[in-house]
Chain A
Amino acid sequence: MDTWSTLWETFFDGDSMREALPEMLTVGLPNTLILAISAALLGSVLGMALAVAGISPTRWLRWPARVYTDIFRGLPAAATILLIGVGLAPLGMEVWGPNPYPLGILALSLIAGAYIGEIFRSGIQSVEAAQLEGARALGFSWGEAMRLVIIPQGVRRVLPAWVNQLIALIKDSSLVYFLGLVASQRELFRIGQDYAATTGNESALLLAGLFYLALTVPLTHAVNWIDRRLRQGRSVTVDPDDDGGLALAGETALPPSPTAGRDQR
């Protein structure tokens, strides 16, 4: 057998792929989705808490949020997953038995939370201070103003970055195999790896890769789509004027110039 056909069979052996496919579909894909979606939800909730704490006027909220973010953004994902998943395993054993998923999801969420927190924070901080002032002037408390006015605008601005983080989560979910998975707990990567080991070629792993791409590539395009929509949504198209009796001929849209402020401090 020449080198090329060896290489071909290493990656594109149809039999190996066919053998792995049913388990990938029925076990691997659902497990990967469970890991990624749970961690995305938990990570986003945690991220929002970190973002709000990070911009809070209270030092005792700001400071812990910073330290947390530095640690979980700074550690390799593999190290965090092992430290949490193995380190807390005795505790997990008592609470939910010998299932590595809760701790795996926890570790993934803690990591994602650090990144998502920074994403949300940058979005929230990009909202003009005038918006907060406008909301406070109506009688909203700081918390209400943040929740109803500032955060919805800030999050919208960073949706593309948030989706990028979901893509990273789908990929990082493969790392929970470190924690030791029984057959029914295996996610896409582990199943691919196992079949690769038994068939002696990498085709099953390549198939796992295709599954990942089937999840992530549409998401990357979703990012682009959201990005484009946000940009276009911001452009101004003015309805024909209808001033109901107030004679204001010639009114045209004038997006307020940021430099127009006089007397602004």
Chain B
Amino acid sequence: MTDTATTTSVSLTVRDVHLAFGANKVLRGADLDVARGGTACVIGPSGSGKSTLLRTINRLIEPDRGDVLLDGRSVLRDDPDALRQRVGMVFQQFNLFPHMSVLRNITLALRRIRKLSEDEATSVARAQLELVGLAAKADSRPAHLSGGQQQRVAIARALALQPQVMLFDEATSALDPELVKGVLAVMADLSAGGMTMVVVTHEMGFAREVADTVAFMDHGVVLEAGEPAAIFEAPEHPRLRRFLSQVL
């Protein structure tokens, strides 16, 4: 789909990231490697730290310890706002801005951050909406869209900034089952187009088919990571085996 992404994709490494909220140790030395243009799916039980790990990558949450590297370079000393322009994120609850049209949701950052003119921003936004099949909804308010459409707008909004990495935080968990497929299709396209992606998901089918790497998290660490076939067909860690027996 967004082949422009391939030209700028980067590799991503999360190394020994620790994070505690008070006494609650949410991340206890989490590691993750995603090759340039690769897709990593992070699976694991609720409360295992998956979403928190994702947020340390774009520093919505600052890790206490450890490192996050893009193309081998640590991002922890970068300006967080500049970093987040390179790393797009899609949320479980979409987080679209309800007081703006779909189009303005996408043009806002293009105009205010990228300093594009109104016309340039609009044409970029319309092109992105076209790619997620929602060109006709440009002037609607998010509340007038279905959940699946809203999530695709959220994906378009993130992609409009031409990120080098995309993070998906349970992007389909808030959707009715029949809406999940369309969003996953957009994500699969993006992955095939060469975007570096980290996808926190409960969709095991998606992980199996689309991921290059599947990482299993429990209690704040990645217990096991590998190719989907290895993770799903020959899981080694007993906790991963137990988790898979519950979700598959």
Contact = CB atoms under 8 A, between A and B. Distances in A.
A263 B81 contact: no
A174 B100 CA distance: 40
Contacts of B21: 265
Contact of A262 (B46, B52, B157): B46
A248 B95 contact: no
Interface stretch (A98-106, A148-156, A194-202): A148-156
B120 to A, nearest CB: 17
Contacts of A257: 174
Interface stretch (A36-44, A58-66, A208-216, A233-241): A233-241
Interface string A246-265: 11111111111100111111
SS class, residues of chain A in contact with chain B: loop
Interface string B103-126: 000001100110000000000000
A138 interface: yes
9 A-B pairs with the lowest CB-CB distances in the bound complex, closest first: A134-B95, A139-B85, A244-B133, A137-B89, A246-B133, A248-B182, A254-B147, A138-B109, A251-B146
B143 interface: yes
A256 B174 contact: yes
B47 A263 contact: yes
22 contacts: A130-B91, A133-B95, A134-B96, A137-B95, A138-B84, A138-B158, A148-B108, A152-B99, A153-B97, A234-B143, A239-B144, A241-B146, A241-B149, A244-B130, A246-B133, A248-B179, A250-B178, A251-B146, A254-B146, A260-B92, A260-B173, A260-B174
Nearest to B167: A137
A94 interface: no
Contacts of A236: 143-144
Contact of B148 (A239, A251, A265): A251
B223 to A, nearest CB: 17
Nearest to A252: B146
A248 B181 contact: yes
A243 interface: yes
Interface residues of A, number: 45
Contacts of B26: 265
Interface of B: 21, 26, 46-48, 50-52, 58, 60, 81-82, 84-85, 88-89, 91-99, 108-109, 112-113, 130, 132-137, 140, 143-149, 157-158, 161, 170, 173-176, 178-179, 181-182, 185-186, 200, 202
A251 B200 CA distance: 23
A141 interface: yes
A106 B18 CA distance: 52
Interface in A132-146: 133-141, 144
Residue among B130, B140, B144, B186 with max Cβ neighbours from chain A (10 Å): B144
A197 B143 CA distance: 59
Nearest to B150: A256
A262 B174 CA distance: 9
A56 to B, nearest CB: 18
B50 A137 contact: no
Contact of A263 (B51, B130, B175): B51
Given A138-B161, A149-B97, A152-B99, A254 B136 contact: no
Contact of A131 (B97, B112, B145, B148): B97
A245 interface: yes
Given A133-B60, A136-B84, A137-B84, A239 B140 contact: yes
Given A140-B81, A254-B147, A264 B92 contact: yes
B60 A244 contact: no
A2 interface: no
Residue among B92, B140, B157, B185 with max Cβ neighbours from chain A (10 Å): B92
Nearest to A254: B147
Given A149-B97, A263-B46, A139 B113 contact: yes
B103 to A, nearest CB: 15
